[in-house]
């Protein structure tokens, strides 16, 4: 039986053609397509600067480095996210501190953020869970009051809007991070980007992407040098993305509005089909939000039934998932920071009850009907 996955890329003949063009050209890495893709991301989101890198994780890492996150710094993020949202702080020697999530959106709760602020707090990494933007205005006001940096983890949220403003515009943040992994809004295979309106941060990002090296004569520590000369001024990484990946990204970005539209249609279908099931809670979208709907999650009111429902859906060929195991409960985090069950009750309760259903552009109406039929059948027989 072929499993219907929870997410899948959508690649058409145009995408393939654009990649092949670059493969036949002189530059397969760091050629013109990288800059073009960065400019297209700026145009789409409204941000001034973009730096494309090899993954969303790399983007989070250089975002932290660019604002100098280091040992002794605390950074507040959500426990309901992919581990990379917190790991990027660890990479810099800092301490990730979690703040519990809201019951309705599963996004980080501004009230909980406030409770976690100490003298060591340097930044906040809000994660736009499932593509639904966080309470950015509230978080922005907290950051202003306590002089904190905001790095939006928008890996789920390319194409989303907050109060009419595109995520990625950095209107309420210092930087926004995207991922172009195949399950995300658009793909470059692996890939990611950091967007910012701050020129100083932008220049740092460029340096950290490429080993900490600069070739800008205005930035050299010495004068009157040969044209071969470059300087390594920071400890950076090779987080470069290739030109053919950016060609794919450019071609994909042209389709983003259609992609988001299709995702929203699928969500409407799920909502309509599942709204009368009393045993589950459906995800919400606040009135001033346009979600990019990265994932569609249902919550079982009775958590003791989750596992059986999950396994039965899998046995039916439906590639359900759980997003996410709370980061603070991962053995590595428990060991180092002594986190334990009960530390973040809203996040933990969400985790105990959630199941992610398939959601991707190429999902057919036949598959959707099968999934909703099975969900209803399995949940009703559990009564």
Ligand X SMILES: *Cc1c(COP(=O)(O)O)cnc(C)c1O
Q: Residues interacting with ligand X, by CB under 6 A?
A: 55-57, 81-82, 84-85, 127, 153, 155-156, 179, 181, 192
Which residue lies nearer to ligand X by CB, 52 or 155?
155
C-alpha dihedral sign at 162, 164, 166, 172? negative
Which residue lies nearer to ligand X by CB, 63 or 143?
63
CA dihedral 219, 225, 231, 233 (to 10 degrees): -50
- Residue with the shortest CB distance to ligand X: 56
In this structure, are residues 193 and 46 in contact, taking their beta carbons and an 8 Å threshold?
A: no
Q: Are strands 296-300 and 289-290 parallel, antiparallel or unpaired?
A: unpaired
| CA–CA gap between residue 293 and residue 153 (Å, rounded) | 15
Paired tokens of 79: 């426990």
Other C-beta atoms within 10 Å of 8: how many? 17
Which residue lies nearer to ligand X by CB, 7 or 214?
7
Which residue lies nearer to ligand X by CB, 132 or 181?
181
- Shortest separation between residue 383's beta carbon and ligand X, angstroms: 34
- Shortest separation between residue 78's beta carbon and ligand X, angstroms: 9
| CA–CA gap between residue 328 and residue 316 (Å, rounded) | 32
In this structure, are residues 138 and 94 in contact, taking their beta carbons and an 8 Å threshold?
A: no
Paired tokens of 220: 């050299």
| CA–CA gap between residue 339 and residue 261 (Å, rounded) | 40
| CA–CA gap between residue 297 and residue 324 (Å, rounded) | 11
- Shortest separation between residue 225's beta carbon and ligand X, angstroms: 37
- Shortest separation between residue 374's beta carbon and ligand X, angstroms: 26
- Shortest separation between residue 152's beta carbon and ligand X, angstroms: 10
| Tokens 């933990």, residue located | 348
Which residue lies nearer to ligand X by CB, 113 or 274?
113
| Tokens 């990484």, residue located | 237
- Shortest separation between residue 153's beta carbon and ligand X, angstroms: 5
Q: Which residues of 109-123 are buried (b: 16+ CB within 10 A; e: fewer)?
A: bbebbeebbeeebbb
Kind and range of the H or E run holding 60:
helix 56-66
| CA–CA gap between residue 373 and residue 367 (Å, rounded) | 10
| CA–CA gap between residue 130 and residue 187 (Å, rounded) | 17
Paired tokens of 261: 């539209």
From the number of C-beta atoms within 10 Å of its C-beta (0-12, 13-18, 19+), residue 257 rates as exposed
- Shortest separation between residue 161's beta carbon and ligand X, angstroms: 18
Which residue lies nearer to ligand X by CB, 100 or 375?
100
Which residue lies nearer to ligand X by CB, 56 or 236?
56
Q: Which residues neighbour 303 within 8 Å (Cβ) at sequence distance 6 or greater? A: 349, 352, 353
- Shortest separation between residue 101's beta carbon and ligand X, angstroms: 13
């Amino acid at each position: 039986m072929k499993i219907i996955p929870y997410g899948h890329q959508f690649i058409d003949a145009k995408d393939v053609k654009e990649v092949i063009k670059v493969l036949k050209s002189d530059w397969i890495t760091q050629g013109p397509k990288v800059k073009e893709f960065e400019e297209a991301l700026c145009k789409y989101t409204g941000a001034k600067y973009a730096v494309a890198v090899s993954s969303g994780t790399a983007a989070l890492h250089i975002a932290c480095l660019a604002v100098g996150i280091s040992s002794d710094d605390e950074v507040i993020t959500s426990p309901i996210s992919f581990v990379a949202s917190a790991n990027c702080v660890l990479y810099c020697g800092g301490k990730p501190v979690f703040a519990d999530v809201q019951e309705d959106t599963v996004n980080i709760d501004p009230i909980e953020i406030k409770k976690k602020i100490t003298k060591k707090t340097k930044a906040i990494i809000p994660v736009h869970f499932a593509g639904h933007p966080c309470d950015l205005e509230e978080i922005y006001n907290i950051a202003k009051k306590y002089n904190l940096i905001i790095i939006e983890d928008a890996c789920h949220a390319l194409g989303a809007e907050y109060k009419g403003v595109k995520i990625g515009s950095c209107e309420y943040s210092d930087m926004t991070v995207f991922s172009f992994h195949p399950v995300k809004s658009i793909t470059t295979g692996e890939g990611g980007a950091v967007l910012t309106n701050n020129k100083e941060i932008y220049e740092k990002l460029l340096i950290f992407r490429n080993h900490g090296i600069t070739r800008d004569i205005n930035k050299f520590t010495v004068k009157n040098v040969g044209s071969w000369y470059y300087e390594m001024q920071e400890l950076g990484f090779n987080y470069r993305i290739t030109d053919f990946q950016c060609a794919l990204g450019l071609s994909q970005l042209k389709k983003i509005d259609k992609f988001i539209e299709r995702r929203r249609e699928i969500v409407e279908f799920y909502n309509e089909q599942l709204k009368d099931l009393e045993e589950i809670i459906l995800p919400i979208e606040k009135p001033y939000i346009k979600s990019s709907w990265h994932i569609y999650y249902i919550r079982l009111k009775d958590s003791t039934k989750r596992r059986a429902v999950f396994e039965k859906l899998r046995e039916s060929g439906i590639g359900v998932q759980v997003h996410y195991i709370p980061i603070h409960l991962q053995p590595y985090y428990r060991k180092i920071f002594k986190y334990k069950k009960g530390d973040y009750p809203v996040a933990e309760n969400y985790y105990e009850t959630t199941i992610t259903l398939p959601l991707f552009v190429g999902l057919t109406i036949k598959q959707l009907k099968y999934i909703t039929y099975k969900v209803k059948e399995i949940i009703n027989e559990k009564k």
